[in-house]
């Protein structure tokens, strides 16, 4: 006979969850309805304080680790067992939406509250976590908090990373930690029993397929590069073309060559130049310096290697007399989530009567790194027309609540193991 849903899933409160999304969206609100809450900014600090306030109001304890990952804990019956973690991130793209990342953190908090409301105890503690700097838009690379947590990157090396205004990550981090005082301190990388992340899909498949829940099977691989082209500033009216070292024209030739390299009739390769800074950015000075980024993704590690390894030589071949440096800033292989967890997510959706399907993620998530240290899975819910990294990002309150109910089921199960 099919099991019935737990009492915790029944206590997920759609209105509370929705209102919290709207409250978070006010922190860094943009005039166009979107959110600009970049990592370790004043807006991020405000969001952290809001989360800490909601947690404290329910008697949950909060802790922070050296990179600012913020943990909200509901104790288990056996207090010293490694916790089951759930969460995502509170930082956004500069022109982000209300749901990317925020949903996973708020769904986690919602489940902690639903467990309280249902008076359900769990053997293990369950913690909702907000990972620091998942987006990687202000400080590169992304998923920094989770990568540092699992030891993939070292915090000491990251501290000297600067944003476009020249602010060091280390200084922004120290300011963020100082602005949220009184939290218990945690070490990086404590043992984790399992990790489940809820997220909007950020693609169109669930909506097109009429499904409410995606049981995520894995995440494609990503490689990022930072390219710096250095030419020579010169007078636009007087300098003959043949003696110019025009950093912009060189960078444009590089991007065109990269576009040709990454061309894929099957539309599986994802290639993006998302940042392009020209200096001095004056109409009548030949550009002396260009900085641009490459974000390149694919599910197949062999393709990631074959195409990605050609990037430095291709840029050098189109330098047109300029100097070029190509620095890899992120290299994450494809991830395959734990099969038993994917199956638990599908089974929970089925118990709750929610249409579901397996799905593979094109976006990366903190779960990518947690999968290296603990059984890990993700729950996707639909977002309108798959739009994300866009102020117009939109999701239905009922779908967000449905995902939180599935999360409640899976967390309750894992926390008894
Ligand atoms: C996450 O924000 C990504 O770029 O996939
Ligand atoms: Mn995200
Ligand atoms: Mn994102």
Same domain, 129 and 203: yes
**pLDDT at residue 186, as a whole number:** 96
Taking the model in full, what pTM does it have? Answer: 0.96
Same domain, 127 and 198: yes
Q: Residue 293 Cα, ligand 3 centroid: separation in angstroms?
A: 16
User: Of 280, 297, 332, at which residue does a domain stop?
Assistant: 332
Residue 254 to residue 229: CA distance in whole angstroms: 10
Residue 199 to residue 337: CA distance in whole angstroms: 15
pLDDT (mean) for 144-169: 97
Is residue 147 scored above 70 in pLDDT? yes
Residue 170 to residue 258: CA distance in whole angstroms: 33
Q: What is the CA radius of gyration of the chain?
A: 23
Q: Residue 137 Cα, ligand 1 centroid: separation in angstroms?
A: 9
DSSP 254: H
Same domain, 215 and 267: no
Same domain, 188 and 92: yes
Which among 362, 372, 389, 378 has a CA at the least distance from the CA of 148?
Answer: 372
Please report which confidence band the pLDDT of residue 5 belongs to, taking 50, 70 and 90 as the band edges: low
Which among 192, 267, 214 has a CA at the least distance from the CA of 402?
Answer: 214
Same domain, 238 and 150: no
Same domain, 77 and 201: yes
Same domain, 348 and 392: yes
Same domain, 232 and 110: no
**pLDDT at residue 6, as a whole number:** 72
Same domain, 161 and 59: yes
| Cα 154 from chain centroid (whole Å) | 18
The pair of structure tokens assigned to 289 is 């310096």
Q: How many domains, in total, are found in the chain?
A: 2
46-95 pLDDT, tens digit each: 999 999 999 999 999 999 999 999 999 999 999 999 999 999 999 999 99
* Number of neighbours of residue 365 by Cβ within 10 angstroms: 28
For 252, the domain range is 221-332
Q: Residue 92 Cα, ligand 3 centroid: separation in angstroms?
A: 6
* For the CA of 101, the nearest atom of ligand 1: 2
174-228 pLDDT, tens digit each: 999 999 999 999 999 999 999 999 999 999 999 999 999 999 999 999 999 999 9
Q: Which helix (H) or strand (E) holds 26?
A: none
**pLDDT at residue 48, as a whole number:** 98
301-358 pLDDT, tens digit each: 999 999 999 999 999 999 999 999 999 999 999 999 999 999 999 999 999 999 999 9
Q: Residue 198 Cα, ligand 1 centroid: separation in angstroms?
A: 14
Residue 69 to residue 190: CA distance in whole angstroms: 12
* The length of the chain, given as a count of residues: 417
Residue 199 to residue 188: CA distance in whole angstroms: 24
Is residue 3 scored above 60 in pLDDT? no
Element counts in the chain: helices (H) and strands (E)? 14, 17
Query: For the domain that residue 149 is a member of, what is the CATH number?
Result: 3.40.630.10
Residue 352 to residue 347: CA distance in whole angstroms: 9
268-307 pLDDT, tens digit each: 999 999 999 999 999 999 999 999 999 999 999 999 999 9
What residues flank ion ligand 2 with Cβ within 5 A? 100-101
Query: For the domain that residue 267 is a member of, what is the CATH number?
Result: 3.30.70.360
Q: At what angle do helices 102-117 and 42-57 cross, to 10 degrees?
A: 10
Is the CA virtual torsion 42, 43, 44, 47 positive or negative? positive
Residue 408 to residue 414: CA distance in whole angstroms: 10
Same domain, 227 and 214: no
Ligand 1, atom 2: closest residue by C-alpha:
135
In a domain, residue 116? The reply is yes
Please choose from 296, 334, 364 the residue to mutate so as to test ligand 1's pocket, defined by most ligand atoms within 8 A of CB: 364
Residue 151 to residue 13: CA distance in whole angstroms: 36
**pLDDT at residue 288, as a whole number:** 98
Quick check: bond before 382 cis, omega within 30? Answer: no
User: Of 315, 332, 349, at which residue does a domain stop?
Assistant: 332
Same domain, 181 and 90: yes
User: Of 310, 332, 354, at which residue does a domain stop?
Assistant: 332
Which among 125, 211, 122, 193 has a CA at the least distance from the CA of 403?
Answer: 211
SS3 12: coil
SS3 401: helix
The pair of structure tokens assigned to 328 is 């890899």
229-264 pLDDT, tens digit each: 999 999 999 999 999 999 999 999 999 999 999 999
**pLDDT at residue 117, as a whole number:** 96
Q: Residue 26 Cα, ligand 2 centroid: separation in angstroms?
A: 18
158-179 pLDDT, tens digit each: 999 999 999 999 999 999 999 9
The pair of structure tokens assigned to 414 is 């894992």
In a domain, residue 323? The reply is yes
Residue 413 to residue 93: CA distance in whole angstroms: 34
In a domain, residue 1? The reply is no
Q: Residue 155 Cα, ligand 1 centroid: separation in angstroms?
A: 21
Report the mean per-residue pLDDT for the chain: 97
Please choose from 136, 362, 368 the residue to mutate so as to test ligand 1's pocket, defined by most ligand atoms within 8 A of CB: 136
* For the CA of 297, the nearest atom of ligand 1: 5
* Parallel, antiparallel or unpaired: strands 194-200 and 84-89: parallel
Q: Exposed, middle or buried, 415 (CB in 10 Å: 0-12/13-18/19+)?
A: buried
Residue 361 to residue 339: CA distance in whole angstroms: 15
Q: What is the CB < 6 Å shell around ligand 1?
A: 135, 142, 363-364
**pLDDT at residue 68, as a whole number:** 98
Please choose from 101, 142, 197, 203 the residue to mutate so as to test ligand 1's pocket, defined by most ligand atoms within 8 A of CB: 142
Same domain, 23 and 80: yes
**pLDDT at residue 348, as a whole number:** 98
Which among 367, 352, 338 has a CA at the least distance from the CA of 408?
Answer: 352
**pLDDT at residue 4, as a whole number:** 63
């Amino acid at each position: 006979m099919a099991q019935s849903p737990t009492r915790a899933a029944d206590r997920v409160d759609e209105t509370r969850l929705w209102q919290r999304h709207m409250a978070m969206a006010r922190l860094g609100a943009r005039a166009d309805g979107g959110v600009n809450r970049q990592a370790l900014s004043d807006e991020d600090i405000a969001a952290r304080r809001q989360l800490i306030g909601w947690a404290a109001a329910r008697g949950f304890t909060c802790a922070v680790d050296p990179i600012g990952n913020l943990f909200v804990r509901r104790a288990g019956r056996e207090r010293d067992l490694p916790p089951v973690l759930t969460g995502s991130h509170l930082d956004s793209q500069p022109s982000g939406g209300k749901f990317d990342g925020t949903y996973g953190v708020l769904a986690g908090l919602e489940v902690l509250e639903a467990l309280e409301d249902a008076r359900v105890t769990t053997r293990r503690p369950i913690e909702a976590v907000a990972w620091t700097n998942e987006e990687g838009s202000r400080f590169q690379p992304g998923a920094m908090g989770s990568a540092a947590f699992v030891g993939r990157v070292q915090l000491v090396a990251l501290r000297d990373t600067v944003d476009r205004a020249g602010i060091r990550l280390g200084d922004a981090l120290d300011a963020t930690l100082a602005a949220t005082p009184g939290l218990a301190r945690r070490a990086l990388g404590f043992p984790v029993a399992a990790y489940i992340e809820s997220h909007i899909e950020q693609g169109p498949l669930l909506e097109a397929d009429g499904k409410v829940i995606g049981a995520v099977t894995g995440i494609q691989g990503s490689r990022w590069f930072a390219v710096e082209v250095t030419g020579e500033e010169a007078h636009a009216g007087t300098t003959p073309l043949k003696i110019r070292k025009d950093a912009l024209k060189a960078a444009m030739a590089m991007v065109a060559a990269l576009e040709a390299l990454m061309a894929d009739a099957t539309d599986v390769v994802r290639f993006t130049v998302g940042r392009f800074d020209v200096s001095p950015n004056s109409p009548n000075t030949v550009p002396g310096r260009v900085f641009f980024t490459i974000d390149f993704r694919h599910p197949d590690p062999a393709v990631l290697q074959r195409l990605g390894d050609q990037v430095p030589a291709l840029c050098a071949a189109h330098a047109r007399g300029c100097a070029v440096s190509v620095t890899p800033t992120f290299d994450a292989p494809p991830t395959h989530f734990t099969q038993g967890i994917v199956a638990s997510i599908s089974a929970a959706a089925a118990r709750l009567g929610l249409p579901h399907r397996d799905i593979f993620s094109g976006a990366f998530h903190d779960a990518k790194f947690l999968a290296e240290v603990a059984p890990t899975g993700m729950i996707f819910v639909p977002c309108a027309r798959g739009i994300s990294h866009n102020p117009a990002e939109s999701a239905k309150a009922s779908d967000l609540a449905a995902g939180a109910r599935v999360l409640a089921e899976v967390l309750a199960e894992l926390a008894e193991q």
